[in-house]
Structure 1
């Protein structure tokens, strides 16, 4: 009779041999058969305990009834993008004659998730990064129907997008008040990770109001330990009542998203998503943001000491623009903003993030430290322009338009403005400016955003030099 360790080693070798010789489906079958065999041999491995079907006559709780109502509202979003292929041989006449069918373009496809939030109008909520630059967007419903989607609008800074599908007999998920979420509340994530349809994971709310994550735009995330993997983007995060509390958007993994979930998932709160959708529908597919109209820097120990403050936190006002909401509120250079509408403001980045998440006209109660004293100032956010024409700043910039730097780049540590468009043959084009250039500095004066860039041209510089980033290169450009 073979000793017990030898039997276990043979059993393990047999299981591994089956894995090496068969596919994934066979492996699953073998694991099920092996589990049954092990259970029948208690001398080797004790049988695992299982939950009873009922306790004291009460059925064990299950998420199945809620999921049966909710899952038809979660869809698969497929996008296609036509990308022109850069082939160095395509310009050679001899090569083109030898190979007349050389491909000049390819199609990139990606897969994500979406949530039906309005069954009557066919509105589907998803992530901006799921449909970004797509030439074609289609939706596959839980019942197998495939439909071409209409793009209604998106907001890159909050990673929210809205599309519409022409279908009847749809199921929608009602939106909950995400502001009522607490750490420890149970949540369920539904989506299509790795292209697998209708996958459900569960967990709890690990944190609310999560921000300060590099490269993710404006941030007020729900953090959860429910598994969120590639393909889950745009899917639903629901509470136990089957109400939408968030839109799954990202997972944090230092080894990359393809390494799998490690219990650090992020979702966009439903309240924020609702506000963005309202603006997209009202403003022809775009979001108009508000601004206080000031520049700040994070309070440092040296500055705090100079201002006579015992606490080193907050955003120090370094500049107030004329005619702005900040000027109307009476904010002054040297003021330290430590809270807005009761929310702590620990840094200049935190204040900027808070501003960007509020609709135009939002009244703000700003808690300020001035000359060592505390006071509360009332301010309102004014609309900031989506783009500024270069001709209105300086004739040398005629033909170019400038816009705010995308928040994903700003949260990654950059500041400045981005060139949105350059008209062909214009003076800006002759000065070699290109769309997508990031302007970090200018000889016109200091600035960190579009409003500051405008204000810096109050006096036209005799010599205009722009420091720009183009691709991976950085350099100075003399504008004639």
Structure 2
């Protein structure tokens, strides 16, 4: 789990990245932006329901399961002080060969969402950064092996590709919608590996600066936890307004301060990753 520190506004408070974030260019068959809210009408005494919205978008939200394989020696000396490391080296008979390397396997979980019917998927860079294998699972349980098309550490975005014999459900970025503080949002993802989970909240702030990032974030109070990384945050029309990336927390758990990469950034970066596999900058 990555930690970020920002002396400007959050002195001595860690921003924990979650192992928990394109639209029109030539992405095949994008879904049309909805024009009517997909939530229950506000009526006197009646609660707001997000059921229709969640039912529409959930089929396009996926779990990202990552296997990480790292080669190490049988006698892993990482973290051992030099004086002891040298002593252990001298214990090898006649300066014999080092122990044969072995493979250590780990796992990571995150979320993502399909942005085209032919299988392009957006997630976070930090979810797949060290991946040896990536598997995508849909809410109906279907699984697909995924190929990494490209990733960009600076924006914490990555694009994956899966092959499906049938067109896939997908969602679109809300690049032309200006969010306001107080707008409702819904986050859908895979917290703690539980599978499709939806939470609702509001936009708490826009243009939020975090650490040394060159890009700003949307701050939301919808519950975001470990495993939500790379999952989408939707507006009430079912359009992706942000890609969940980080939370502010002294303990690693949700306290109602989450950060999402704005759709305008995610849309632009994902297009470039699909076209070129990397992002080119002049700075």
TM-score bracket for this pair, using the shorter chain length: 0.7 to 0.9
What TM-score do the two structures reach when normalised by structure 1? 0.44
Map of 2:160 onto structure 1: 163
Show CA shifts across 1:282-303 (max 9, x none): 32x1101124xxxxxxxxxxxx
Kindly indicate whether the alpha-carbon contact (under 8 Å) linking 1:153 and 1:280 is maintained by their aligned counterparts in 2. Answer: yes
Show CA shifts across 1:405-463 (max 9, x none): xxxxxxxxxxxxxxxxxxxxxxxxxxxxxxxxxxxxxxxxxxxxxxxxxxxxxxxxxxx
What TM-score do the two structures reach when normalised by structure 2? 0.73
SS of 2:192's equivalent in the other structure is helix
Map of 1:209 onto structure 2: 207
Q: Cα distance 1:125–1:55, how it changes in 2: closer, same or farther (>3 A)?
A: closer
Among 267, 272, 283, the alignment partner of 1:274 is: 267
Map of 1:196 onto structure 2: 194
SS of 1:104's equivalent in the other structure is strand
Alignment of 1:270-309 (within 5 A): 270-283=263-276, 285-291=277-283
Kindly indicate whether the alpha-carbon contact (under 8 Å) linking 2:188 and 2:231 is maintained by their aligned counterparts in 1. Answer: yes
Distance 1:59 1:112 in 2: 35
Kindly indicate whether the alpha-carbon contact (under 8 Å) linking 1:178 and 1:246 is maintained by their aligned counterparts in 2. Answer: no
Q: Cα distance 1:221–1:178, how it changes in 2: closer, same or farther (>3 A)?
A: farther
Alignment of 1:301-340 (within 5 A): none
Q: Highest Rg: 1 or 2? A: 1
Kindly indicate whether the alpha-carbon contact (under 8 Å) linking 1:76 and 1:192 is maintained by their aligned counterparts in 2. Answer: yes
SS of 1:172's equivalent in the other structure is coil
Kindly indicate whether the alpha-carbon contact (under 8 Å) linking 1:81 and 1:135 is maintained by their aligned counterparts in 2. Answer: yes
Q: Does 1:253 align with 2:249?
A: yes
Q: CA deviation at 1:103?
A: 7.4
Kindly indicate whether the alpha-carbon contact (under 8 Å) linking 1:178 and 1:270 is maintained by their aligned counterparts in 2. Answer: no
Map of 1:68 onto structure 2: 55
Q: CA deviation at 1:218?
A: 2.8
Among 214, 218, 240, the alignment partner of 1:218 is: 214
Greater helix content: 1
Gaps spanning 5+ residues in structure 2: where?
1-41, 78-88
Map of 2:85 onto structure 1: none
Aligned residue-pair number: 225
Q: Cα distance 1:60–1:261, how it changes in 2: closer, same or farther (>3 A)?
A: closer
Gaps spanning 5+ residues in structure 1: where?
1-53, 292-480
Kindly indicate whether the alpha-carbon contact (under 8 Å) linking 2:175 and 2:267 is maintained by their aligned counterparts in 1. Answer: no
Among 73, 79, 102, the alignment partner of 1:86 is: 73
Q: CA deviation at 1:87?
A: 3.1
Q: CA deviation at 1:170?
A: 1.6
Q: CA deviation at 1:86?
A: 3.0
Distance 1:206 1:178 in 2: 19
Superposition CA RMSD, Å = 2.5
Distance 2:238 2:69 in 1: 38
SS of 1:84's equivalent in the other structure is strand
Q: Cα distance 1:77–1:60, how it changes in 2: closer, same or farther (>3 A)?
A: same
